Amino acid sequence: MARTRYLKLPVVSLVVFIMTTVSCSYAGTGADSGSFLRINPTARSSALGNAYAGLSDDLESLVMNPGGLYQLKDPQLSLLHMIYMEGINLEYAAFGMPLPNNSGVVAFRIEYLTSGDVPRTLEINNGTDYTLSGSFNVSELLAGASYSTSVNGLGIGINANLLMETLDTASSTGLSFDVGVHYLLGKEIRAGLSAQNISLGLLKLGNGNYPLLFRGGVAINQKIESYDVLFLADVVFDTEASKLRGGLGVEGNVLGLVLVRLGYELGYDLGGFTAGIGFGFNAMGERLELNYAMVPRGDFGLTHKFSMTAKFGEKKAPAEINKTEPEKAPAAVPVKAEPPVKVPPAGTETAPAIVPPAEKIKAAEPENKENPALKEAKPEVTAEQPAPKKIRRIIKKKKAADGSTTYTTIYPDGQPVQDGEKDK
């Protein structure tokens, strides 16, 4: 089975090679368009140093690796607000749901970035002086649809993104695509590969030369002293900058209540340590998760990202220390009922009486005490019991010398129980 699993790795490599060839064939020269596509609009992966391609088990896979989107088991809704540097804000919303009959997962997202008001400067006197004339706005919009499915254990996914860029009164529209694959290398190891911001020349934003990124990563889940700890690592190749970058991340819980995340970005001009926390709880019958990420950006200050994810239909009990599964109550052991004890009545061989089992009599009576109910118990004749036989008796007659007669009744036990009167 393991041999079959690893034989599929060449297939994954072939898929990535095809994605690379197609993407580079449409790449042009010069400055790239859609620079906002480099911004990560998610909180959890940002706190993990942008290392997420190997995990990709929720809606954040739309940004890092759509090949892992097939892992969604219930509908999810994610909302994010990001306070970016220099007064730039970003709003993000995504929704994903599994299709019936295990036919895959679909998702939709919208991302809007705005610079706010920027002062407009006009040139006067042939460039010798400048003056302010109101302000203008720069905004970026992405609206995407995604699909992912699993084929023989290999996850495959694709994003189709509509892009719109506005600078003051000028605007431009384009299309971009993301593709990815995801695979379980073992029970605790996952891996993923993706190509992001592919332009096929159908509809170009600017010159259509988007920041093309190739990403690969692994995620390893380990048990450390009864705690689940997640380790992640990604490698990213930026074709426009011809640079190899990467990210490292670790996630673990504290007292089973709060998820703590740490990461480090490698090879980025403004990279460094990242951090964040996550908290999940049940509310209104659904599972809610709150995430926060803090990403330093050098002299530009800190970037803060806040997100909320609702997982419909997924309810989880709060995590407990040293307890991975709820204890099960022991199964009830059936008790075999004992047949009633039959006690024959005194003075006869038949007509047994039905009395309660000895265990019930003992439970009802105190120990070392005789049950008066047993003394007074009389046999009952039922339809299943034969009628009691008549007791035979012998009457002896004895004449005395004085001429009187005495009658004596003798029962089968041989003891006289009744003396008759003398008959003179």
What are 171's strand-pairing partners? Answer: 166
pLDDT in tens, 239-262: 988 899 999 999 998 877 899 999
pLDDT of the residue at 148: 97
Section 141-166 average pLDDT: 95
Pick from 296, 311, 326: which residue ends a domain?
Answer: 311
For residue 331, tell me if it sits in a domain: no
Decide which of 266, 296, 311 is a domain's last residue: 311
Residue 201 has pLDDT above 90, yes or no: no
410 is in which domain, residue-wise?
Answer: 391-424
Spell out the SS3 assignment of 33-71: CCHHHHCCCCCHHHHCCCCCCCCCCCCCHHHHCHHHHHH
pLDDT tens digits, one per residue of 378-397? 555 555 555 555 555 566 67
In a domain, 87, yes or no: yes
- The CA distance from 181 to 20, in Å, is 13
* 323 falls within a domain: no
Higher model confidence: residue 355 or residue 177?
Answer: 177
Q: Is residue 329 part of a domain?
A: no
Residue 319 lies in a domain: no
Cβ neighbour number for residue 111 with a 10 Å cutoff: 24
Q: Of the segments 123-132, 155-164, 250-259, 368-377, which one has the largest average pLDDT value?
A: 155-164
**pLDDT above 50: residue 374:** no
Q: Is 10 in the same domain as 89?
A: yes
Statement to judge: residues 203 and 305 lie in one domain: yes
Integer angstrom CA distances of residue 174 from 165, 210, 258: 9, 10, 41
User: In the listed set 276, 311, 346, which residue is the last one of a domain according to the structure?
Assistant: 311
CATH, residue 64: 2.40.160.40
Does 407 lie in the same domain as 380? no
Assess contact for 69 and 75: CB atoms under 8 A. no
Beta bridge pairs of residue 246: 235, 266
With 0.75 as the threshold, say if the pTM is over it. Answer: no
The radius of gyration computed from the CA coordinates of the chain, to the nearest angstrom, equals 44
User: Into how many domains does the chain fold?
Assistant: 3
d(CA 192, CA 156) in angstroms, rounded, equals 10
366 is a domain residue: yes
Same domain for 272 and 349, yes or no, is: no
- Tell me how far apart the alpha carbons of residues 280 and 259 are, in angstroms, rounded to a whole number: 9
Q: Judge if 282 and 257 occupy the same domain.
A: yes
Entry field: residues in the chain = 424
* % pLDDT > 90, the chain: 41
Same domain, residue pair 172 and 272? yes
Residues 356 and 396 in one domain: no
* Choice among 140-154, 278-292, 313-327 with the minimum mean pLDDT: 313-327
- Whether residue 322 lies inside any domain: the answer is no
Shared-domain flag, residues 290 and 374: no
The answer on 207 and 173 residing in a single domain is yes
Per the domain annotation, does 324 fall within a domain?
no
Same domain, 175 and 207: yes
Question: CB atoms < 10 A from the CB of 212, how many?
Answer: 23
Report which of 29, 91, 75, 16 is spatially closest to residue 286, judged by C-alpha positions. 75
Q: What is the pLDDT of residue 251?
A: 96
Do 139 and 279 have their domain in common? yes
Same domain, 271 and 368: no
Instruction: Report how far Cα 71 is from the mean position of its chain's Cα atoms.
Output: 11
